Each structure stands twice: as C-alpha cells, then as structure tokens.
C-alpha cells in the first residue's frame, strides 16, 4: 500500500508520511547538507532503532545512536544535558540532524534537544506508538518535565518531517495501543465526528492495529492536528483546542508521578471537560453520555479517585494554558465546536469533578 503524505502548512511546512513498510522514506525527509544524524531512542528497545540506523547508514549518513531512559523518565534536564554533551562529542553541526525514534516522551525529548542544540538543528520524528503518531510527534511542540509539572520547559520547533510506519504498531502492547486511542477520540469531539462513528461501528477493531479502520483513524487524527498547527504553531489561539481534556489529565499524571499512561489520564480529562461543558450550559447530556460510552467501549477509564481533588486542583493552577491567576479550559459548545472557559467558579470545577469521581 502506498504512503499517504499529509501536509502541515505554515511558516515551516513539512509532511507527515503514513503507511506500512515506509521506513525507506526516512532519508528523503532529512534536509540537504546533513552528514551526521543522531538517533535518539529508548534504551530498552534497541530493536526499534536498528532498522532506522540501517536505512540512514545505507543512505550515506554517519549515524550516532543515543539511548535514553524509557517513558517520562527521559524528559528531564539531566537527560537533555547528557544528550547535548553527546552531540558535542560527536561534532553534530547546525547542518546535521536529530532523529527521534520511539513513543511520545522520546519524540518530545528529541525535539527539545534539537531545538536547543546550536539554537536549533533539524529534527525528523519516527514515532512508533499510536499516541506518538497521532499527537506527540506532530506539531512541533517539544518539552521536558520539571518537579512542578509536565512539559513546563520547552519550545516550538517544527520537525523537518514525520514518518509513521504502521508496521511498528504490531509490537505495541495492547494497553499502550488502547491508551493512544484517547487522543484520536479527542480529535473526533473537537473537529472530526467521523472518527467517533468509526470507533462506534467497530470498537473491538479500533483496539488493534489490524483493525479495519486503523489507518483511516490515524490519518484523520493526523489531519486534524495538521490543520490546527498549520494555522497556529505557537498556541496563540486555535491550537489551544488540542488541549481539550488535558488540564485535568496533566494534573492526574503529576499526582500519579507519571505512572499512569498519558492516554488514560486524557480519557478521564475528556469526561471532565464534557461535564464542565454540560454544567456551564453549553451542551446537553448527550455529549457527556457519548464521551463515556466511546471511552468505555475501548476499555479506557472514565473516573478517578474522589479524594484526589485537592491535589489535582493545586496542580491545575500552574497549567500551561493559565494566564496569570486565570485558569482556562477548552470546552465544547457542541460536537466539533470547541470553545474556551475562562476563570470558572470553584463550585463549577468541583461539581464537574464530582461527576468524574462518582
């Protein structure tokens, strides 16, 4: 099957290449002039980096493999500093390239390191999980975590290209694959309701990379993100809609010390955002019911611990979408009609959480 190329427009345009067995497209995504390519990948999964390194070496590049810790543990200033030192030792210049291979944490880290090394070198992302393909690797937002919160240190640094080889999804553990569906479902509620219909038609198929609608679901969600970030790279307006469900999700991740999967936290956050929308009089109960129904049908959580509210509320105070002391939420005014809720009353926030914790 041929590759699909989804264009991300804007000041720094690039393509997201989607297909099965398309790793050979990788050298063509690297800009002219590069001689050395640093491949950043999870240390526990060297098998996912070997084919990437092989393709690049065959294309004539000098390849340096740089393993990093798994998951969110990689997204620290300590790991970033080690990578900066490695890039210096191997003589990576401004015309060279970084390639991020792995899940969303790895692509976030690789993008941040590329953005900050020599004030910016090119990066190509090769996401290997569903979550990274449909969200983290697309859009140019890079970041690392601090003890105070997730992705609070970062930059906007569009990649030179993104390569989504669907063949890599076959080896993704089922729980991780299903967690990635939360971001796809989010895209259905904020922009493309066809996504929701496809999952409702075959929830079991949606839970596996061999599903009949897998490629269409991925391409539709990538297109949603491409349309948004192409119009608003730096999250000055439209791009904020991609944070639907994420204010509570990031707080949950912090309370759980990142031991919960991002997609699982997002699923709970989607229910919370839908309840906020309902309680603020913007939507009816059908949006909330449909949110819970779709998430439940694929095995994602829809509730969280009641006693966690005080800690969650504290963490939301430093959410990236806040402006000064004003907390901002992305909510819905209807299906595929995202909006903003600014400085909501504490009673509203707590009432919505009561529905999530019931």
Sequence ranges of the binding site for NAD(+)? 70-75, 104-108, 128-129, 141, 150
Answer yes or no: 262 catalytic: yes
Answer yes or no: 225 catalytic: yes
Residues making up the annotated binding site for Zn(2+) are 183, 246, 262
Answer yes or no: 141 catalytic: yes
Phi and psi at residue 97, to the nearest 5°? -140, 155
Residues making up the annotated binding site are 70-75, 104-108, 128-129, 141, 150, 183, 246, 262
Beta bridge partners of 68: 42
Say how far residue 266 (Cα) sits from the centre of its chain: 11
Answer yes or no: 145 catalytic: no
Answer yes or no: 315 catalytic: no
The catalytically annotated residue of 41, 141, 220, 221 is: 141
Torsion of Cα atoms, 108 then 33 then 92 then 22, to 10° = 40
Answer yes or no: 243 catalytic: yes
Residues 6+ positions from 76 with CB-CB distance below 8 Å: 144, 145
The catalytically annotated residue of 160, 220, 240, 243 is: 243
The catalytically annotated residue of 157, 221, 250, 328 is: 250
Contact between residue 35 and residue 95 where contact means Cβ atoms under 8 Å apart: yes
The catalytically annotated residue of 219, 235, 240, 264 is: 235
Answer yes or no: 246 catalytic: yes
The catalytically annotated residue of 157, 220, 262, 321 is: 262
The catalytically annotated residue of 119, 259, 323, 358 is: 119
Cα–Cα distances in Å, from 78 out to 110, 156, 201, 250, 348?
Answer: 14, 20, 46, 21, 39
The catalytically annotated residue of 41, 145, 160, 183 is: 183
Answer yes or no: 151 catalytic: no
Answer yes or no: 157 catalytic: no
The catalytically annotated residue of 157, 160, 186, 246 is: 246
Cα distance between residue 210 and residue 166, in whole Å:
10
Q: Known catalytic residues? A: 119, 141, 183, 225, 235, 239, 243, 246, 250, 262
């Amino acid at each position: 099957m041929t590759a699909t190329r989804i264009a991300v427009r804007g000041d720094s345009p690039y393509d997201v290449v989607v297909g099965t067995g398309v790793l050979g497209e990788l050298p063509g995504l690297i800009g002219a002039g590069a001689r050395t390519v640093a491949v950043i990948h999870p240390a526990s999964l060297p098998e996912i980096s070997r084919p990437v390194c092989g393709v690049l070496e065959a294309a004539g590049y000098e390849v340096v493999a740089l393993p990093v810790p798994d998951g969110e543990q990689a997204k620290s200033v300590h790991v970033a500093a080690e990578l900066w030192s490695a890039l210096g030792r191997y003589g990576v210049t401004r015309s060279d390239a970084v390639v991020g291979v792995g899940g969303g944490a790895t692509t976030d880290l690789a993008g941040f390191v590329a953005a900050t090394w020599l004030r910016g070198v090119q990066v190509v992302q090769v996401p290997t999980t569903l979550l990274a393909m449909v969200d983290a690797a697309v859009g140019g937002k890079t970041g690392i975590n601090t003890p105070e919160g997730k992705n609070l240190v970062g930059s906007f640094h569009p990649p030179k290209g993104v390569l989504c080889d669907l063949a890599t999804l076959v080896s993704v553990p089922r729980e991780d694959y299903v967690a990635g569906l939360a971001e796809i479902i989010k895209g259905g509620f904020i922009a493309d309701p066809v996504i929701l219909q496809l999952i409702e038609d075959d929830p079991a198929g949606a839970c596996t990379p061999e599903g009949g609608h897998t490629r269409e679901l991925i391409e539709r969600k990538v297109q949603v993100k491409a349309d948004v970030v192409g119009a608003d790279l730096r999250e000055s307006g439209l791009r904020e809609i991609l944070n639907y469900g994420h204010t509570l999700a990031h707080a949950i991740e912090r309370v759980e010390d990142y031991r919960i999967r991002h997609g699982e936290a997002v699923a709970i956050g989607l229910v919370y955002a839908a309840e906020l929308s309902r309680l603020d009089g913007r939507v009816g109960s059908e949006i909330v019911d449909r949110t819970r129904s779709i998430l439940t049908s694929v095995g994602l959580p829809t509730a969280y611990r009641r006693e966690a509210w005080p800690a969650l509320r504290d963490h939301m105070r430093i959410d990236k979408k806040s402006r000064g002391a004003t907390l901002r939420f992305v909510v819905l005014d209807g299906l595929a009609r995202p909006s903003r809720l600014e400085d909501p009353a504490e009673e509203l926030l707590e009432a919505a959480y009561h529905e999530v914790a019931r």
